[in-house]
Structure 1
Amino acid sequence: MVREFKLPDVGEGVAEGEIVRWLVEPGDEVSEDQPVAEVETDKAVVEVPSPVDGSVKELLAEEGEVVPVGDVIITFEVEGEEPAEEEESEPEAGEPTEREGKREPTEIDGKPAVTRADAGEDRRAAGTEDEEAPTGSKRVFAPPNVRRLARELGIDVSSVEGSGPGGRISEGDVRAAAEGDEDEPEVEESEKGPRGLEEGLESAVSRSGEREGTQQSEAADRERTLAAPATRRLAEEQGVDLNAVPTDETRDGEPFVTPEAVREYAEARRAAPTDTAEAATAGAEAETGPREREEREPYRGIRRTIGRQMEHSKYTAPHVTHHDTAQVERLVDARRELKAIAEKRGVRLTYMPFVMKAIVAALKQHPYLNSSLDEESEEVVVKNYYNVGIAVATDAGLMVPVVEDVDEKGLLQLASEVNELAQKARERSISREEMQGGTFTITNFGAIGGEYATPIINHPEVAILGLGELRERPIVEEGESETPKASRGASGETASRVVPAHTLPLSLSIDHRIVDGAVAAEFTNTLVEYLENPNLLLLE
């Protein structure tokens, strides 16, 4: 019996999804709840499970195709039941076709229509239909596009070791096998280590290469590497073998690679290419020819959702941005003292938890910045709980994980939660619930350079704080002058001097419907006081 499976509603409000990758192919045996496809919605990448025990009959959508929720994407032959006999004759007029509720037209604009079945026959007649690779007793996991590539390169797909989850074979595995470098992936550049946005306000510092030799050796010896689907897609786009990317991280005892590590490795290879890399690049340019003057990419998924949210916020709430600067020498000293203690407890302590605690202390004194506007009932909703969102840059765009009840948590707990949520956001494994319920948002553009900006409010919140780069800058410091009193100004003022000091630029955007400019300035003054004197947080 043939069972049709429609694209389910994989999240509240989701109307469509893009088939990122098929995890099965026609003829594969599947069990109930086994993932059969990776689907990208406007929220995240999710795995779609099989609803039955059986075998895959047909894939009805191509990888990269956007499918509305409710459309049939795959059919199964249900185990233990006789498969439905295919009708060779044309159905009678008015009779439904094999797929319930979906009838294929026989004519379009007066011309015979080519149906999916006709196209399949044409492919088989032309010898281009996907072939079942000879596998013997070995189970081969490879999607149709990988099998096609293996045939084009003359590679027996059953002889290729897969680097994906469960031994799944990727295009990179097939290419590596064709080049004869599968067992010894080339690792030429030093591992620089990813610099995450959640590292907060630390200046960009290149990691030393003291572990370079060990990490390169470990990367070369790896036969399997774990990574999120988005990371694998990025590696393919960058032409990077995941097994060659150095990493210190592990998941379930296996090496785990992040998108940042892939980018760093790809950039390092481009910065110092070897003769082999140069030859490969020259060959690629010869094959592809000159680049097009313009390139077009689909505007959909998470990028489109972010764009619509930004547009709605900007055109709903009148934005005003207030700028200030905090001199944070004491904060730098406090973090330096506590960092080593945190590392002993297995927590990487950045400046972000200090900033979050200072923000909450300031919000308690200026509650209207921790509110929202209920436009329907025309009421201002002042919130007595403090859920702080942290903007995180990902491959798909900006995501805002929310740390709940910041006022009830210590620095180490906040640091641990921020690090975990940021990593989940980059891996696209974060849930909708973990990005909802925020009352105030922080965006740290200083992590990639910059001092001031005009951040867009994360509607329906009424304020967002932008953090510039924390670094030493020249400041004017007043002090006693060694110059004789007679040489001082007529007013008797003491002389000043310019000295270096750690400063933190602040950019606070507010919804001017709820928050006045004077209130924004008062809030910022309070925040600066806590940042410049972090010991005051002990009184909160």
Structure 2
Amino acid sequence: MPKEVLLPELAESVVEGEILKWLVNEGDVVAKDQPLVEVMTDKVTVELPSPFAGVLVKKLVNEGDVVPVETPIALIDESAGAAAAPEAAAAAAQSAPPEEAEDRGERLSLFKPDKTEAEVKNPFAGGAKKPAGPAVAERPRAGTNKYGRVLAVPAARQLARELGVDIAQVPGSGPNGRVRVEDVRAYAEQAPAAAATAAPAGFPPPVAYRTPAGYEELEERVPLRGMRRIIAQQMMASHLYTVRTLVVDEADVTELVALRRRLKERAEEAGVKLSYVPFIFKAAVEALKKFPVVNSSLDDARGEVVLKKYYHLGLSVATDAGLVVPVIRDVDRKTILELAAEIGDKVARARAGKLTPDEVTGSSFSVTSVGNLGGLFSFPIINVPDAAILGVHTIQKRPVVKDDAIVAREMLYLSLSFDHRLVDGAEATLFLREVVARLEDPYWLLLHAV
């Protein structure tokens, strides 16, 4: 009998993945650990290896589907050869009971009996319940499994997300109340108002776009998928679950520019490209040590502030597919040269789409450097659940007053976006002044580097 290939839990916080590309076709012979499918999750693309050797009998999900972890995505017959693949597929279809064949998401180890689907989708909601309209409350609900998870086919879940429908409110016509695609469509058509208010708890209803009359042929619609979908979700979470405030300062980095120029050739001799980012990372860590609340997160569900005594700094990287934030761990324990080498490696792999899930999670503070793009300063989006993010801008030679004389100095604008629930304005301002002080005296950073 064919074995199920499940979408594995790729990282602790990952609950779903998007099927980007199948690397083998139905009927192909696959070897154990052979790349089987590309999956997008948490801003990285991962090639999943086949856990079995045999024949790929059937793909259970399509490219573009978003499925929860532990969902069966394919069937592999270990006993069949390439010639027997069609027979194996037919046998699998005949031998599987109807209920088992249609169950494509029931055994989710991440979902516990006391955790509803809405809470899993919206972990920052802190247990808040969404009021339901009278019309929705009176409707029969979808069937659930023993963990309290709604029974629904993957395509129905995807359609519900796109329409802003709470799938738990949709009456299922399948076995045991399982929700089908047509159930979601019928629910959305019959109760558009209820569907609009059935977005995940804490989220506003989705905005429907209407094309101006007569301009239909001058528009192109592209599905919101892959990295852009992940970015959109992260930005929405940052907007809804932080009270974002901004403080801006400037630093005279003339000494830093001179120091980097002196060290650049020596770093290149060691095979490392030395940017300003390692110095900024080191300055940020020293400021975080003095103002630990900036290096924190808020656990809404438990009503606790999480003060982190480690310094894992995320760095925003622009790629062809979108923005990625690789994380450099234990910045306080690494030298400027070590940081430069690791940053260069992760930036290159981010742009090549080769980062692993663990490399883009677990930051305690983030930095976004847009200096090479221009612009005076920005209001960066906080990388939730971090409490703050530092924006670094273009170093420009500008006239400033120094010792009662107007002189040309290398000046840098810095902007700090912070969650005002955690960080007060005074703390944010003093934190940024500390970063400025360290960058204006970069030799101090070298003396205190590990």
Q: TM-score, structure 1 length as denominator?
A: 0.55
**1:533 alignment counterpart:** 441
Listed one character per residue, the Cα deviations across residues 136-163 of structure 1 (whole Å, up to 9, x for unaligned) are: xxxxxxxxxxxxxxxxxxxxxxxxxxxx
Query: Which of 300, 307, 315 does residue 225 from structure 2 map onto?
Result: 300
Equivalents in 2 of 1:394, 1:449: separation in Å?
17
Call closer, same or farther: CA 1:332–1:102 in 2, change over 3 Å.
Answer: same
**2:388 alignment counterpart:** 463
Call closer, same or farther: CA 1:416–1:512 in 2, change over 3 Å.
Answer: same
Bigger mean CA deviation after superposition, 348-357 or 417-426: 417-426
**1:78 alignment counterpart:** 79
Query: Which of 247, 261, 264 does residue 339 from structure 1 map onto?
Result: 264
Query: Which of 280, 287, 296 does residue 371 from structure 1 map onto?
Result: 296
Query: Which of 370, 373, 378 does residue 445 from structure 1 map onto?
Result: 370
Query: Which of 401, 404, 407 does residue 332 from structure 2 map onto?
Result: 407
Do the aligned residues in 2 keep the contact of 1:42 with 1:301 (CA within 8 Å)? no
Listed one character per residue, the Cα deviations across residues 433-481 of structure 1 (whole Å, up to 9, x for unaligned) are: 22222221101122222121111222222211101112223334444xx
**2:141 alignment counterpart:** none
Alpha-carbon RMSD across the aligned residues, in angstroms, is: 3.2
**2:38 alignment counterpart:** 38
Call closer, same or farther: CA 1:507–1:427 in 2, change over 3 Å.
Answer: same
Shift of 1:75: 4.9
Do the aligned residues in 1 keep the contact of 2:363 with 2:386 (CA within 8 Å)? yes
Shift of 1:373: 2.7
Do the aligned residues in 1 keep the contact of 2:396 with 2:412 (CA within 8 Å)? yes
Do the aligned residues in 1 keep the contact of 2:42 with 2:360 (CA within 8 Å)? no
The structure with more radius of gyration: 1
Q: Which runs of 5+ in 1 are unaligned?
A: 104-289, 480-495
Call closer, same or farther: CA 1:296–1:14 in 2, change over 3 Å.
Answer: farther
Bigger mean CA deviation after superposition, 72-81 or 317-326: 72-81
Letter in 1 for 2:440: E
Equivalents in 1 of 2:90, 2:290: separation in Å?
75
**2:117 alignment counterpart:** none
Query: Which of 392, 400, 410 does residue 502 from structure 1 map onto?
Result: 410
Equivalents in 2 of 1:375, 1:85: separation in Å?
50
Query: Could you tell me the percent identity over the aligned residues?
Result: 44
> Is 1:48–2:48 an aligned residue pair?
yes
Listed one character per residue, the Cα deviations across residues 479-502 of structure 1 (whole Å, up to 9, x for unaligned) are: 4xxxxxxxxxxxxxxxx43x4321
Letter in 2 for 1:384: K
Report the 3-state secondary structure (helix = DSSP H, G, I; strand = E; otherwise coil) of the residue aligned with 1:391.
strand
**2:29 alignment counterpart:** 29
Shift of 1:344: 0.6
Equivalents in 1 of 2:403, 2:63: separation in Å?
65
Equivalents in 2 of 1:45, 1:353: separation in Å?
26
**2:2 alignment counterpart:** 3
Shift of 1:520: 1.6
**1:227 alignment counterpart:** none
Report the 3-state secondary structure (helix = DSSP H, G, I; strand = E; otherwise coil) of the residue aligned with 1:469.
strand
Equivalents in 2 of 1:336, 1:86: separation in Å?
64
Equivalents in 1 of 2:359, 2:89: separation in Å?
47
Letter in 2 for 1:46: V
Kindly report which structure 2 residues correspond to 1:81-100, keeping only aligned pairs within 5 A, or say none: 84=87
Do the aligned residues in 2 keep the contact of 1:389 with 1:438 (CA within 8 Å)? yes
Query: Which of 309, 313, 325 does residue 388 from structure 1 map onto?
Result: 313
Equivalents in 1 of 2:255, 2:88: separation in Å?
78
Equivalents in 1 of 2:255, 2:90: separation in Å?
80
**2:429 alignment counterpart:** 521
Equivalents in 1 of 2:247, 2:228: separation in Å?
28
Letter in 1 for 2:425: G
Call closer, same or farther: CA 1:444–1:291 in 2, change over 3 Å.
Answer: farther
> Is 1:315–2:240 an aligned residue pair?
yes
Do the aligned residues in 1 keep the contact of 2:43 with 2:360 (CA within 8 Å)? no
Do the aligned residues in 1 keep the contact of 2:77 with 2:88 (CA within 8 Å)? no
Call closer, same or farther: CA 1:292–1:14 in 2, change over 3 Å.
Answer: farther
Equivalents in 1 of 2:88, 2:412: separation in Å?
72
Call closer, same or farther: CA 1:31–1:464 in 2, change over 3 Å.
Answer: same
Equivalents in 1 of 2:416, 2:348: separation in Å?
26
Do the aligned residues in 2 keep the contact of 1:58 with 1:76 (CA within 8 Å)? no
Listed one character per residue, the Cα deviations across residues 493-538 of structure 1 (whole Å, up to 9, x for unaligned) are: xxx43x4321111001112122221222212222111111111224
Equivalents in 1 of 2:412, 2:388: separation in Å?
19
Shift of 1:74: 5.1
Report the 3-state secondary structure (helix = DSSP H, G, I; strand = E; otherwise coil) of the residue aligned with 2:375.
coil
Do the aligned residues in 1 keep the contact of 2:3 with 2:75 (CA within 8 Å)? yes
Equivalents in 1 of 2:98, 2:385: separation in Å?
48
Query: Which of 343, 347, 358 does residue 418 from structure 1 map onto?
Result: 343
Equivalents in 1 of 2:321, 2:89: separation in Å?
43
Do the aligned residues in 2 keep the contact of 1:451 with 1:467 (CA within 8 Å)? no
Equivalents in 2 of 1:329, 1:467: separation in Å?
15
Call closer, same or farther: CA 1:372–1:42 in 2, change over 3 Å.
Answer: closer
Do the aligned residues in 1 keep the contact of 2:267 with 2:274 (CA within 8 Å)? yes
Shift of 1:423: 2.0
Report the 3-state secondary structure (helix = DSSP H, G, I; strand = E; otherwise coil) of the residue aligned with 1:101.
helix
Call closer, same or farther: CA 1:19–1:362 in 2, change over 3 Å.
Answer: closer
